[in-house]
Amino acid sequence: MARVLIIDDNDTMREGMAVTLKKQGHEVAAFRSGAEGIAAYQKRRFDMVVTDLRMEPVDGIEVVRRVRSHDSEAVMMVVTAHGTIETAVQAMQEGACDFITKPFPPEVLRAKVEKGLELSATRRQVQKLSAHVEALSQDAVRAAGSMVGESEPVQKLLSMVRKAAVSDATVLIQGESGTGKELVARMIHEVSPRREGPFVVVHCAALAETLLESELFGHERGAFTGAVRRKLGRFELADHGTLLLDEIGEISPSIQTKLLRVLQEKELQRVGGEETLKVDVRVLSATHRDLKAEVASGRFREDLYYRLHIVPLVIPPLRERPEDIGMLARHFIAKHGPKVNPKVKGLSDDALLALGRYAWPGNVRELENAIEQALVFAEGEQLTEQELPAFLHGPQARAAHAQGALPIPHGDRPLPDILEDLERQLIERAYEKAGGVKTETARLLGIKTSALYYKLEKYGFIQKGEGGQTS
């Protein structure tokens, strides 16, 4: 049994249609004005709407329009008088799926309503399926690059990555160092229709201008001294795939101009070459700089910026999503544990707190390094606070954190002070780990025992003169 909404200001017509459809076993609600009908639909969805066209003040076209804007999947049929086909056509354009011309026998109404209800069922099914597909592809995005994080900014980012992936637009990925820009670029490629094609990265900052030019566009033999054979550029290598221009903020004005031309014309010439090559490449770019500010200061071409910036993605720094730290730490234990220290399975609450206290200027990469380092020292199944790198634990780290001073220098403490502090912490850790055995401590630190005595005295771990005996 389906629910059908009938709207007709003619009592005879309305009641006649209602009787016909009720006889067929459907639940029917009938109204004599467009406004009442629309209100009823908005209160609860119907499987189908049958509405008269000529009504005052709200006509059938208006009913179709308003119901459709409330529910884009609504199935509607309009009832027209003989000779008003144009209006029926208009109603179809507004979203009605069928029309019926007065007068009509009950069988015709019945047949058309059955057809409409079938369409309605199919539309609902598709709606459900596409919600399902949506959820699935979200998982696919995650699986592709294993982007870890449950925080709201990461969730938002993932949904934007999914949208960006299905299009072929250029994407500009902005974020501080170590936030995962390359990871995001890979994910976009992996879920895009180009996933079967190559993913090619150019680290723009690493190369001098002339090298970068031939890296990007290739060169012909003899193009310059040392060009002993033809070299294909990264654009050519990325044909039918994706090209990531990493650290795009670092490229020179002349390369900016050349790049703009390639993006506009989708064709290029190798350095020293005549031939024009067509390339089919999706370009992604990444930078830790504020590219808009670079444009404002005249260091980056505005037209190129707009070409690259069609879809902008910003990855927030780790300090703005501290709730991801625990999950990331566990992820990195699982990632590196098996080869570095397979017995470690997790981390202690103290260790987690220590990780949470730190500001992570190097973002996820710094966290990953810290975990890898801790795994080397770890002795039990859980990483402890003591096993974390020195800058993360101990009273100094806490005090430093409280002042917001360590490890990002603020200019309020000279570097030698900070280094002494670190040295003291490292010595303390090694001394503890060695159980107070000085030769072992020296071995852990990779220094001579005599040098260790000097430092132990300097930092007050032992009294002057104690250096005579070995323990």
Residues that bind Mg ion (CB under 5 A): 182
Task: Provide the minimum distance between the beta carbon of 244 and Mg ion in the complex, in angstroms, as a whole number.
Answer: 9
Question: Which stretches of 297-399 are assigned E, i.e. beta strand?
Answer: 311-315, 346-347, 382-383
Q: Which of 45, 365, 398, 413 binds ligand ATP (CB under 6 A)?
A: 365
How far apart CA 190 and CA 172 sit, in angstroms, is 17
Q: Is residue 147 a contact point for ligand ATP (CB under 6 A)?
A: yes
Helix, strand, coil share of the chain (percent; to 5): 55, 15, 30
Q: Is residue 331 a contact point for ligand ATP (CB under 6 A)?
A: yes
Yes or no: say if 337 and 380 are a contact pair by the CB < 8 Å rule.
Answer: no
Q: Is residue 336 a contact point for ligand ATP (CB under 6 A)?
A: no
Residue 449's binding partner among ligand ATP, Mg ion, none (Cβ under 5 to 8 angstroms by kind) is: none
**Of 288 and 438, CB closest to ligand ATP:** 288
Task: Provide the minimum distance between the beta carbon of 454 and Mg ion in the complex, in angstroms, as a whole number.
Answer: 42
List helix spans (H) across 146-252.
Answer: 152-166, 181-191, 209-217, 234-237
**Of 24 and 177, CB closest to ligand ATP:** 177
**Of 36 and 182, CB closest to Mg ion:** 182
Q: Is residue 330 a contact point for ligand ATP (CB under 6 A)?
A: no
Residue 424's binding partner among Mg ion, ligand ATP, none (Cβ under 5 to 8 angstroms by kind) is: none
Residue 331's binding partner among Mg ion, ligand ATP, none (Cβ under 5 to 8 angstroms by kind) is: ligand ATP
Q: Is residue 183 a contact point for ligand ATP (CB under 6 A)?
A: yes
Q: Which of 149, 241, 249, 407 binds ligand ATP (CB under 6 A)?
A: 149
Q: Is 73 helix (H, G, I), strand (E, B) or coil?
A: coil
**Of 146 and 159, CB closest to ligand ATP:** 146
Q: Which of 251, 283, 364, 445 binds ligand ATP (CB under 6 A)?
A: 364
| Residue whose CB is nearest to ligand ATP in the complex, by number | 180
How far apart CA 250 and CA 211 sit, in angstroms, is 14
For residue 370 the two structure tokens come to: 């810290």
Q: Is residue 172 a contact point for ligand ATP (CB under 6 A)?
A: no
How far apart CA 287 and CA 174 sit, in angstroms, is 5
- CA angle at 420 for the pair 417 and 422, rounded to the nearest 5°: 110
Task: Provide the minimum distance between the beta carbon of 122 and ligand ATP in the complex, in angstroms, as a whole number.
Answer: 40
How far apart CA 354 and CA 157 sit, in angstroms, is 27
Question: Which stretches of 184-310 are assigned E, i.e. beta strand?
Answer: 199-203, 218-219, 231-232, 242-246, 267-268, 277-278, 282-287
Query: Helices H, strands E: what count in the chain?
Result: 19, 16
Per-residue buried b or exposed e for 218-247, using 16+ beta carbons within 10 Å of the residue's own CB: bbbeebeeebeeebebbbbebbebbbbbbb
Task: Provide the minimum distance between the beta carbon of 196 and ligand ATP in the complex, in angstroms, as a whole number.
Answer: 22
Q: Is residue 182 a contact point for ligand ATP (CB under 6 A)?
A: yes
Binding span for ligand ATP by CB under 6 A among 33-41, 80-88, 179-187, 257-265: 179-187
How far apart CA 162 and CA 188 sit, in angstroms, is 7
Using CB under 6 A as the criterion, which residues of the chain lie in contact with ligand ATP when the complex forms?
A: 146-149, 175, 177-183, 288, 328, 331, 364-365, 368
